[in-house]
Copies of this chain bind each other. A is one copy, B any other.
Protein backbone atom coordinates (compact mmCIF):
# COMPACT_ATOMS: atom_id res chain seq x y z
CA UNK A 1 0.00 0.00 0.00
CA UNK A 2 2.42 2.64 1.16
CA UNK A 3 5.11 2.71 -1.51
CA UNK A 4 7.45 4.22 0.97
CA UNK A 5 7.29 1.25 3.31
CA UNK A 6 7.63 -1.20 0.44
CA UNK A 7 10.65 0.61 -0.90
CA UNK A 8 12.09 0.87 2.57
CA UNK A 9 11.80 -2.89 3.05
CA UNK A 10 13.27 -3.54 -0.36
CA UNK A 11 16.13 -1.16 0.34
CA UNK A 12 16.75 -2.81 3.69
CA UNK A 13 17.20 -6.21 2.08
CA UNK A 14 19.48 -4.87 -0.61
CA UNK A 15 21.53 -3.04 2.00
CA UNK A 16 21.83 -6.18 4.09
CA UNK A 17 23.09 -8.10 1.07
CA UNK A 18 25.51 -5.30 0.33
CA UNK A 19 26.92 -5.30 3.86
CA UNK A 20 27.33 -9.06 3.81
CA UNK A 21 29.13 -8.89 0.52
CA UNK A 22 31.33 -5.85 1.08
CA UNK A 23 31.53 -5.42 4.83
CA UNK A 24 31.75 -1.88 6.07
CA UNK A 25 34.16 -0.83 3.35
CA UNK A 26 31.61 0.96 1.16
CA UNK A 27 29.14 2.61 3.48
CA UNK A 28 28.98 6.21 2.40
CA UNK A 29 25.47 7.47 1.76
CA UNK A 30 25.95 7.47 -1.98
CA UNK A 31 27.48 4.01 -1.97
CA UNK A 32 24.66 2.66 0.16
CA UNK A 33 22.10 4.31 -2.09
CA UNK A 34 23.70 2.74 -5.15
CA UNK A 35 23.64 -0.66 -3.45
CA UNK A 36 19.96 -0.18 -2.66
CA UNK A 37 19.24 0.90 -6.22
CA UNK A 38 17.92 4.31 -5.29
CA UNK A 39 19.21 7.86 -5.14
CA UNK A 40 20.83 9.12 -1.99
CA UNK A 41 17.98 11.57 -1.72
CA UNK A 42 15.48 8.71 -1.55
CA UNK A 43 17.50 6.66 0.91
CA UNK A 44 17.15 9.58 3.28
CA UNK A 45 13.45 9.62 2.55
CA UNK A 46 13.07 5.98 3.56
CA UNK A 47 15.38 6.31 6.56
CA UNK A 48 15.85 9.20 8.92
CA UNK A 49 19.59 9.19 8.40
CA UNK A 50 22.48 6.97 7.45
CA UNK A 51 22.69 5.39 10.89
CA UNK A 52 19.05 4.29 10.71
CA UNK A 53 19.59 2.72 7.30
CA UNK A 54 22.58 0.79 8.58
CA UNK A 55 20.70 -0.21 11.71
CA UNK A 56 17.78 -1.56 9.67
CA UNK A 57 20.11 -3.60 7.47
CA UNK A 58 22.02 -4.91 10.47
CA UNK A 59 18.79 -5.84 12.25
CA UNK A 60 17.81 -7.99 9.30
CA UNK A 61 21.23 -9.61 9.26
CA UNK A 62 21.08 -10.24 13.00
CA UNK A 63 17.77 -11.97 12.62
CA UNK A 64 19.23 -14.08 9.81
CA UNK A 65 22.11 -15.13 12.04
CA UNK A 66 19.72 -15.98 14.83
CA UNK A 67 17.63 -18.15 12.56
CA UNK A 68 20.67 -19.91 11.14
CA UNK A 69 22.03 -20.65 14.60
CA UNK A 70 18.70 -21.88 15.89
CA UNK A 71 18.37 -24.13 12.84
CA UNK A 72 21.91 -25.45 13.13
CA UNK A 73 21.49 -26.70 16.69
CA UNK A 74 17.91 -26.87 17.89
CA UNK A 75 17.40 -26.79 21.61
CA UNK A 76 17.99 -30.23 23.06
CA UNK A 77 19.95 -31.82 25.85
CA UNK A 78 22.45 -29.51 27.50
CA UNK A 79 26.01 -30.05 26.30
CA UNK A 80 29.32 -30.00 28.16
CA UNK A 81 31.65 -27.10 27.29
CA UNK A 82 34.09 -29.11 25.19
CA UNK A 83 31.31 -30.47 23.00
CA UNK A 84 29.67 -27.10 22.64
CA UNK A 85 32.94 -25.43 21.67
CA UNK A 86 33.55 -28.08 19.04
CA UNK A 87 30.07 -27.68 17.59
CA UNK A 88 30.11 -23.89 17.66
CA UNK A 89 33.52 -23.83 16.01
CA UNK A 90 32.32 -26.16 13.28
CA UNK A 91 29.22 -24.07 12.58
CA UNK A 92 30.82 -20.67 12.56
CA UNK A 93 33.68 -21.69 10.30
CA UNK A 94 31.27 -22.95 7.66
CA UNK A 95 31.68 -21.15 4.34
CA UNK A 96 28.06 -20.03 4.60
CA UNK A 97 28.79 -18.26 7.85
CA UNK A 98 32.01 -16.64 6.71
CA UNK A 99 30.51 -13.36 5.45
CA UNK A 100 28.49 -13.05 8.62
CA UNK A 101 31.48 -13.54 10.88
CA UNK A 102 33.64 -11.21 8.86
CA UNK A 103 31.02 -8.50 9.06
CA UNK A 104 30.68 -9.20 12.75
CA UNK A 105 34.36 -8.40 13.29
CA UNK A 106 33.97 -5.12 11.48
CA UNK A 107 30.86 -4.26 13.47
CA UNK A 108 32.66 -4.85 16.74
CA UNK A 109 35.51 -2.59 15.65
CA UNK A 110 33.10 0.12 14.53
CA UNK A 111 31.41 -0.25 17.88
CA UNK A 112 34.74 0.20 19.64
CA UNK A 113 35.19 3.39 17.66
CA UNK A 114 31.78 4.57 18.82
CA UNK A 115 30.42 4.88 15.31
CA UNK A 116 26.62 5.01 15.25
CA UNK A 117 24.66 2.76 15.14
CA UNK A 118 27.19 0.04 15.77
CA UNK A 119 27.58 0.15 19.54
CA UNK A 120 23.90 -0.72 19.93
CA UNK A 121 23.99 -3.23 17.09
CA UNK A 122 27.04 -4.99 18.47
CA UNK A 123 25.53 -5.25 21.91
CA UNK A 124 22.38 -6.78 20.49
CA UNK A 125 24.15 -9.35 18.35
CA UNK A 126 26.58 -10.30 21.11
CA UNK A 127 23.64 -10.85 23.43
CA UNK A 128 22.04 -13.08 20.83
CA UNK A 129 25.17 -15.18 20.58
CA UNK A 130 25.46 -15.39 24.35
CA UNK A 131 21.88 -16.51 24.82
CA UNK A 132 22.28 -19.16 22.14
CA UNK A 133 25.27 -20.57 23.94
CA UNK A 134 23.88 -20.38 27.44
CA UNK A 135 20.71 -22.13 26.34
CA UNK A 136 22.75 -25.10 25.16
CA UNK A 137 25.43 -25.26 27.83
CA UNK A 138 25.15 -27.78 30.64
CA UNK A 139 26.10 -25.83 33.77
CA UNK A 140 26.70 -28.97 35.83
CA UNK A 141 30.11 -28.85 37.44
CA UNK A 142 30.91 -25.37 36.16
CA UNK A 143 31.80 -22.81 38.82
CA UNK A 144 30.72 -19.96 36.53
CA UNK A 145 28.56 -21.07 33.60
CA UNK A 146 28.20 -17.50 32.33
CA UNK A 147 31.96 -17.12 32.26
CA UNK A 148 32.30 -20.40 30.42
CA UNK A 149 29.67 -19.34 27.91
CA UNK A 150 31.56 -16.11 27.39
CA UNK A 151 34.74 -18.11 26.83
CA UNK A 152 33.04 -20.21 24.20
CA UNK A 153 31.79 -17.07 22.51
CA UNK A 154 35.29 -15.60 22.67
CA UNK A 155 36.76 -18.70 21.07
CA UNK A 156 34.30 -18.62 18.22
CA UNK A 157 34.82 -14.91 17.65
CA UNK A 158 38.56 -15.41 17.83
CA UNK A 159 38.40 -18.00 15.08
CA UNK A 160 36.52 -15.49 12.94
CA UNK A 161 39.13 -12.85 13.69
CA UNK A 162 41.92 -15.25 12.83
CA UNK A 163 40.20 -15.97 9.57
CA UNK A 164 40.48 -12.34 8.55
CA UNK A 165 44.23 -11.97 8.99
CA UNK A 166 45.77 -15.38 8.45
CA UNK A 167 46.70 -17.54 5.55
CA UNK A 168 44.13 -19.93 4.22
CA UNK A 169 43.66 -23.11 6.13
CA UNK A 170 44.88 -21.97 9.52
CA UNK A 171 41.40 -21.25 10.78
CA UNK A 172 40.23 -24.69 9.80
CA UNK A 173 43.16 -26.28 11.58
CA UNK A 174 42.45 -24.19 14.68
CA UNK A 175 38.80 -25.21 14.55
CA UNK A 176 39.93 -28.80 14.22
CA UNK A 177 42.18 -28.40 17.26
CA UNK A 178 39.19 -27.09 19.18
CA UNK A 179 37.59 -30.50 18.76
CA UNK A 180 40.37 -32.33 20.55
CA UNK A 181 39.73 -33.45 24.09
CA UNK A 182 41.67 -31.89 26.92
CA UNK A 183 42.33 -28.48 25.46
Q: Which residues of A contact B (CB under 8 A)?
A: 23-25, 81-82, 85, 102, 105-106, 108-115, 119, 122-123, 126, 142-144, 146-148, 150-151, 153-159, 161-162, 164-166, 170-171, 173-178, 180, 182-183
| B183 x A183 contact (CB < 8 A) | yes
| B105 x A161 contact (CB < 8 A) | yes
Residues of B within 8 A of A122 (CB): 164-165
| Residue from B111, B119, B153 in contact with A158 in the complex, judged by beta carbons closer than 8 Å | B153
**Apart from A112-B165, A151-B177, A153-B162, 5 more pairs, CB < 8 Å:** A111-B164, A122-B165, A151-B155, A156-B158, A157-B162
Bound: A177/B134 CA distance, A: 14
Nearest 3 Cβ contacts at the A-B interface: A158-B158, A147-B173, A109-B109
| B108 x A161 contact (CB < 8 A) | yes
| A180 x B111 contact (CB < 8 A) | no
Q: How many of these chains are in the complex?
A: 2
| Residue from B85, B146, B177 in contact with A170 in the complex, judged by beta carbons closer than 8 Å | B146
**Contact flag A165-B82 (CB < 8 Å), given A155-B155, A170-B146, A170-B147:** no
Residues of B within 8 A of A157 (CB): 157-158, 161-162
Considering only CB atoms, which chain B residue lies closest to A85 in the complex?
A: B183
Residues of B within 8 A of A146 (CB): 170, 173
| A180 x B143 contact (CB < 8 A) | yes
| B182 x A82 contact (CB < 8 A) | yes
| Residue from B82, B150, B162 in contact with A162 in the complex, judged by beta carbons closer than 8 Å | B150
| Residue from B113, B148, B178 in contact with A177 in the complex, judged by beta carbons closer than 8 Å | B148
| B183 x A171 contact (CB < 8 A) | no
